[in-house]
Every structure is written in structure tokens, then in C-alpha cells.
Amino acid sequence: MIGVFGGAGFLGKNVVTYLRAQGLQVRAVSRQFDDPDLFDRIGAERVIADLQDYESLSRAMNGLSDVIQLVSTASPGHGNTRLIRDIETSLIPQVRFLELCQGNGVARVVFASSGGTIYGKPQMLPIPESHPTLPLSSYGLIKLVTEQYLKLFSQSFAMSHVAMRISNPYGPYQRFKNGQGLIANVIAHCLDGTPVPVYGDGLAERDYIYVDDVSTAFYSALRKSDVGGQTFNIGSGVGRSVIEVLDTIEHLMGKKIPRSHIPARSTDVDRSMLDISAARDRLGWEPTVGFEEGLRRTLAFAGLIPD
Amino acid sequence: MIGVFGGAGFLGKNVVTYLRAQGLQVRAVSRQFDDPDLFDRIGAERVIADLQDYESLSRAMNGLSDVIQLVSTASPGHGNTRLIRDIETSLIPQVRFLELCQGNGVARVVFASSGGTIYGKPQMLPIPESHPTLPLSSYGLIKLVTEQYLKLFSQSFAMSHVAMRISNPYGPYQRFKNGQGLIANVIAHCLDGTPVPVYGDGLAERDYIYVDDVSTAFYSALRKSDVGGQTFNIGSGVGRSVIEVLDTIEHLMGKKIPRSHIPARSTDVDRSMLDISAARDRLGWEPTVGFEEGLRRTLAFAGLIPD
């Protein structure tokens, strides 16, 4: 039985659905389920547990062979004003989670890390996994430190792990309003009919990955026995500018999206994209959903275009 | 005014004494002072404070231009049974300490990290600062993570830092009984007249650095304005085996030290020494006290040979 912690969230719903479609037994674990029918329909177990609550977490862990850890209690939006709070409410529960995995004989933990924040300012593009890790935010640092505790567990105990440094995932089940990332934000503005804020020249580039491609990467990380202890960038490998995202969405919707131009907060050339050759070579994985197709499915899910 | 936190410990007494001899104003901060006269004699301020106690720490920080952080509340001896406890009692106080430094306008924090534990199993010798950091112990991981928080502060605020990855320091004021490291342990056995345990073939090698050479390295890290944000190995650059340490001490004492041979706990070739070329090039520092001379002074301090 595979446990997917954070199974009721954006990545969780997609990953659980995909693993079930591959015939695996899956238990989704979450603090709450806003759509329990989805899990019943696909035949996934549902267990309510909180990463902060040892008792419920311990029950949720019972009988799992492997786990996927998607829970992230820190938030990229809080900057560096809550360093200690993030250690207390995110790092410590993650380490306690790993202790529980180890105590319960879990064979492998696949951890959702952050390809967008863990490296800091890129010193080369695309960014390989060997790039220095100098996160600029508490969120990114907590991800990095959690990876390091995973390595300590892997070295000290018979527990394997794989760290997945995911770029900017988008797709169905994403929360659009107050969601994370440009694509969610643009869709929220389209749904509200309000102008999309564009900072500076709109040429800042990010690496966007359609969520189905994230699901297949997690599946490979669970199944391939020889990738234990390794770290992989999971992204498209391509940088897309704010302008390109907006233009593609306009093209798919067949109409202009109002934009409000806002002076840039920084004059840095701001580009980020991941080198995904390690995942290609060793996970035998690569993204298969093109950017326009991924956006089309996401806009359809949001009800902005017909399915 | 330079603040030396952990100023009453082994490294602390040596560093404070050296900085005073260079004419700097120094405040030693510690939970307790077992030898207050020493500080009065050399004209260093003494302030009692506890890294775990915000109020006392805040008072101790008042008026400091730069600080040296020597306090380490985790211990190398506890293995990995106390991961969360080490986060709570060591990492969180270190981050709170950095927040206080930043809030008090401290210009530079020089942090005592660990060259002996932060790298894990050496993949090359001597070990450069760019070597992967895969600590095998909670102690080493807390040091690594504290370094990473220092970097986050340096990148986000006008606070500079230097991380000093010290190998195995030895010398006067070291606690011999229940102390850390081979040399302290051998001296404790000599003082007690009990045989020194030697594991396996006694060829395991460590990098030992005489404490006066550590003091001069801290002085350089405080004074050189262009090394902000950098990390330095501070060691002798030479590996010395257990047998070599024992033979040198026997030579200096002019008599045999009883040894009790114990089967090796591991068959790994176990060698560690630091590449100190970065400190040579950029701190303008190098060790000046030879191994035999350093041991001679240490044995004299312990009362095992005449001064």
C-alpha cells in the first residue's frame, strides 16, 4: 500500500488518481477532504491525519510499504519573517514524519521538494541538481533542510528516499484564487474579469510543468529500485515568460486579457529553468504534455473554455 | 566591541585572550564562568547569558559591532537518537541568535562550524570546502543547517558572516576528562594512569589543529572585509593517525603509555584531513604551531610535563 500524504491537495489528487490508474493500492492522507467522492470513485483509501499530530499520523502510517510526502506547511508567500515558526511548524513535523516512516519499516519516501526556490539565484541555466543551493526564502530553506534530513535517514537506516525538485506545476485541481504561481493567478483574474498585473517588461521566465507529468515522475521514483538516495529536477526544462503565458492563454481563449503594467521590483534579468537530464537518464522519465495542451486542459478544467 | 559567545569554553578562553592581546575590546558571553579572574586579568568584559534565554541574550548583544559564535548546544556524542531535540535546543536558538544579531545591527557573525563532521565520508582527500556536505550525525547536520541560515541572513540583510569549519582543535583550557577528541582522551587516561583504548590497527587519521592557530583564524575572519559570506576549512591540512598521536605523546613524556587494543568497529579506511588552501589564499592565514610543539604546550598545561 502506497501512502500519499497531502493526498487531497492539488498534486495529491492528481498523483493518487494516476497511481490508482496504474493498479497500485493507494491511501490518501490529508487533514481534510473537500471532495471525498473523488477518492471513493477511484477506489483509494482516505485517512484523515495531521502532520502536526503524532497520534493520527502514526495511525495513517500503519501498513504502508512506501510513501509520497507532498505536505508543505510552510508557504512561499511569507518571506523571511517567520524563520523560527517555519522550523517549528514545518521542519520538526517533517523530521518526526521521517522517524515514523523509519519506525514503521517504510521502504522508500519520495519527497516533493522545490526546484523553483531551492537553488536561489541561478548561476547557470538550465539549473542542474549540482547547482549550489542558496535559497532566498525560509520556504526554500525548509525544503533544502528536509532533503538533508532525508539523506541522514537514508545513510543511517534501511530507508531509501528520492527527492523531487519540482518546478512550477499547473493543471486540474489547482486552487486558482489565492493559489500559487503565475498560471493560477492569471486564471483567477480571468474568472474574476479583472486585469492581470504584469511586472516590468514581462520577460521574467519560469519553468512550468503540467501536473500529469509530475504524476508520472512520482510513479517512476516509486518503482525504480536503483534511484534510492537520488535527487531529481522535475520540470519542463523550458523557460516561459509572463508575456508568453498570457499570449498562449489569450490564443486559447480567443480573446484579449486585460493587463495592468506595474514597474519592475528589480532590474535583474530574472530567468529560471531546470536541467532535467538526470530524470531523463535515470528515472527514464520525461514530460509529454506540451505547454499549449497543458494550458488548454487547465483552462477547460477552470471552465474558461469548453472541454 | 567584539562579542564572543561561548567565551568561557575551551575555544572561547583562547580566542578572547588572543583578541585582547591584539588590542580589541572584547565581551565574553557565557552561561557561567568557571575562571572569572582570567577575564578580569586580561581586561575582557564578562556577561552571563544563555542562548536559550532571549532576554539575557538580548542584553548581552547590546552595543556589539561583531560577534564570534562558539556556542554549540548539540553534542557529537549523541548520535541520531535526538534529531528533534537537537533542532529544538540547538538550531532554533541559533536562528534566534542570528535574528538578534541582525536586529542589533551586528556587522559580521563569525560562526564556529565543524570541519570534522559536516562533510560525512570523504570522497577525496584533503577535503575542500566544495566537497559534498553529507553529515552522518545530527550534530554535523545542525552545524550545516546553521551555516545555511547564516547564508540566508547574509543574502537578505546587511549582515555579513564567515563560517569556520574547524577540524579537531586541541590545546590549553581544553577539558580533558569527558572531553572531545583523541588528544583530550589520551591526556585524561595519562592523568588517571589508565590504558588508552586503541581501536583496530590505530591507523585512523584525523586533522588536529592547535588552538592558537584557531584564534588567529578567527581574528582574520573578523578583520578581513572582503571575506564576507565565505566558508573556510580551518585545520592543519595533515592527517595524524592514532598511533602517531600516541607515539608523539610518549616521546614528549619520555615514557610508554599503556594501550588496550580493541577490535575495529568498522573495516573502512578511516582518514580525514582538510584542504586549507582557501584560508591560506583568502584569509591570509596558516597554522604556525607544529604538531609536536602544540602537544608539548598542551601536555605542560595538563601538568604531565614541565613547562
What mean pLDDT is predicted for residues B239-263? Answer: 96
What mean pLDDT is predicted for residues B270-297? Answer: 97
Predicted confidence (pLDDT) at residue B76 exceeds the cutoff of 80: no
| Predicted confidence (pLDDT) per residue in A108-158, tens digit | 999 999 999 999 999 999 999 999 999 999 999 999 999 999 999 998 888
* Ranges for all domains in chain B classified under CATH 3.90.25.10: 171-206+238-273+288-301
| Predicted confidence (pLDDT) per residue in A145-184, tens digit | 999 999 999 988 889 999 999 999 999 999 998 878 899 9
Task: Name the amino acid, one letter, at A148.
Answer: Q
How many CB atoms sit inside 10 A of residue B204's CB?
A: 21
* ipTM computed for the complex: 0.91
Burial of B6 per CB tally in 10 Å (0-12, 13-18, 19+) = buried
Considering only CB atoms, which chain B residues are within 8 Å of A161? none
Which of B157, B94, B110, B159 shows the shortest CA–CA distance to B2? B110
> Is residue A237 a contact partner of residue A169, using CB atoms and an 8 Å limit?
no
Place of cell 503524532: A54
* Ranges for all domains in chain A classified under CATH 3.40.50.720: 2-169+210-234
User: What 8-state DSSP symbol labels residue A143?
Assistant: H
Written out in words, the top-level CATH class of the domain with range B171-206+238-273+288-301 is alpha beta
Considering only CB atoms, which chain A residues are within 8 Å of B135? 148, 152
Beta bridge partners of B209: B169
The verdict on B138 touching A (C-beta cutoff 8 Å) is yes
Task: Name the amino acid, one letter, at B136.
Answer: L
Sign of CA pseudo-dihedral B144, A81, A174, A289: negative
**CATH tag for A171-206+238-301 (out of 3.40.50.261, 3.90.25.10, 3.40.640.10, 3.20.20.70):** 3.90.25.10
Q: Is the overall model pTM greater than 0.90, yes or no?
A: yes
Q: Measure the CA–CA gap between B51 and B44, rounded to whole angstroms.
A: 20
| Predicted confidence (pLDDT) per residue in A24-58, tens digit | 999 999 999 999 999 999 999 999 999 889 899 99
> Is residue A210 a contact partner of residue A287, using CB atoms and an 8 Å limit?
yes
- The pLDDT value given to residue A173: 96
In A, minimum Cα distance to B135 occurs at A152
Q: Measure the CA–CA gap between A72 and A11, rounded to whole angstroms.
A: 11
- How close A206 gets to chain B, by Cα (Å)? 22
Beta bridge partners of B46: B28
pLDDT bin (cut points 50, 70, 90) of residue A96 is very high
Residue A191, C-alpha cell as written in the block? 474568472
How many CB atoms sit inside 10 A of residue B43's CB?
A: 9
Long-range contacts: A263-267, Cβ < 8 Å, 24+?
A: A263/A199, A263/A200, A264/A199, A264/A200, A264/A201, A265/A199, A265/A200
Residue B116, C-alpha cell as written in the block? 570534522
* Ranges for all domains in chain A classified under CATH 3.90.25.10: 171-206+238-301
- The pLDDT value given to residue A158: 84
| Predicted confidence (pLDDT) per residue in A269-280, tens digit | 689 999 999 999
Residue B141 in 3-state DSSP? helix
Sign of CA pseudo-dihedral B228, B128, B89, B1: negative
Q: Which residues of B, range 60-89, sit inside 8 Å of A by Cβ?
A: 80, 83-84, 87-88
* B155:A120 CB<8 A: yes
- The pLDDT value given to residue A111: 98
- The pLDDT value given to residue B81: 75
Q: Which CATH architecture has domain B2-169+210-234?
A: 3-Layer(aba) Sandwich (3.40)
